[in-house]
Amino acid sequence: MNQHKPKAVILLSGGLDSVTVLAMAKQQYDCYALSFSYGQRHDVELQAAKNIASLYNVSEHRVLNIDLGQLGGSALTDMNIEVPESSEQGIPVTYVPARNTIFLSYALAWAEVLEARDIFIGVNAVDYSGYPDCRPEYINAFGQMANLATKSAVEGNKITLHTPLISLSKGDIIKLGTANGVDYSKTVSCYSADAQGRACGRCDSCRLRKKGFEEAAISDPTLYY
Amino acid sequence: MNQHKPKAVILLSGGLDSVTVLAMAKQQYDCYALSFSYGQRHDVELQAAKNIASLYNVSEHRVLNIDLGQLGGSALTDMNIEVPESSEQGIPVTYVPARNTIFLSYALAWAEVLEARDIFIGVNAVDYSGYPDCRPEYINAFGQMANLATKSAVEGNKITLHTPLISLSKGDIIKLGTANGVDYSKTVSCYSADAQGRACGRCDSCRLRKKGFEEAAISDPTLYY
- How many Cβ contacts (< 8 angstroms) between chains A and B? 139
Beta strands in A38-111 (DSSP E): 60-65
CB contact under 8 A, B68 and A109: yes
CB contact under 8 A, B133 and A149: yes
Q: What is the pLDDT of residues B167-210, one digit of tens each?
A: 999 999 999 999 999 999 888 888 788 888 889 999 888 998 99
Q: Enumerate residues 6+ apart whose C-beta is below 8 A from A22.
A: A10, A12, A31, A33, A52, A56, A58, A120
Q: How far is B105 from chain A (nearest CA, A)?
A: 5
Q: What is the pLDDT of residues B101-119, one digit of tens each?
A: 999 999 999 998 889 999 9
Give yes or no for a contact between A143 and A119, defined as CB atoms under 8 angstroms apart.
no
Domain residue limits, chain B: 7-216
pLDDT score of A87: 47
CB contact under 8 A, A149 and B138: yes
B75–A contact, CB cutoff 8 A: no
Provide the total of helices (H) and of strands (E) in chain A, helices listed first.
Answer: 7, 5
Pick A7-216's CATH classification: 3.60.21.10, 3.40.50.620, 3.40.50.10380, 3.10.180.10: 3.40.50.620
pLDDT score of B120: 98
A-contacting residues in B 183-222 (Cβ below 8 Å): none
Start-to-end CA distance of chain B, whole Å, equals 39
Q: Enumerate residues 6+ apart whose C-beta is below 8 A from A63.
A: A35, A36, A37, A46, A49, A50
Burial track A172-211 (b if 16+ CB lie within 10 A, e otherwise): bbbbbbbeeebebeebbbbbbbeeebebbbbbbbbbbbbe
Burial track B11-46 (b if 16+ CB lie within 10 A, e otherwise): bbbbbbbbbbbbbbbbeebbbbbbbbebbbbbebbb
Q: Is B212 exposed, middle or buried (0-12, 13-18, 19+ CB in 10 A)?
A: buried
Taking CA atoms, what residue in A is nearest to B71?
Answer: A110
- Least CB–CB distance from A97: residue in B67, B112, B133: B112
A38–B contact, CB cutoff 8 A: no
pLDDT along chain B (225 residues), means of 10: 83 93 97 86 82 94 79 56 50 69 94 93 78 92 95 87 95 95 88 85 88 94 91
Q: What's the whole-number average pLDDT of chain B? A: 85
- Interface confidence (ipTM) of the complex: 0.86
A82–B contact, CB cutoff 8 A: no
The rounded distance, in Å, linking the Cα atoms of B40 and B28 is: 31
CB contact under 8 A, A97 and B108: yes
Q: What is the pLDDT of residues A110-142, one digit of tens each?
A: 998 889 999 999 998 876 567 889 999 999 999
pLDDT score of A88: 47
Which strands form A30-37's sheet, in the order they lie side by side?
Answer: A60-65, A30-37, A7-11, A118-120, A160-162
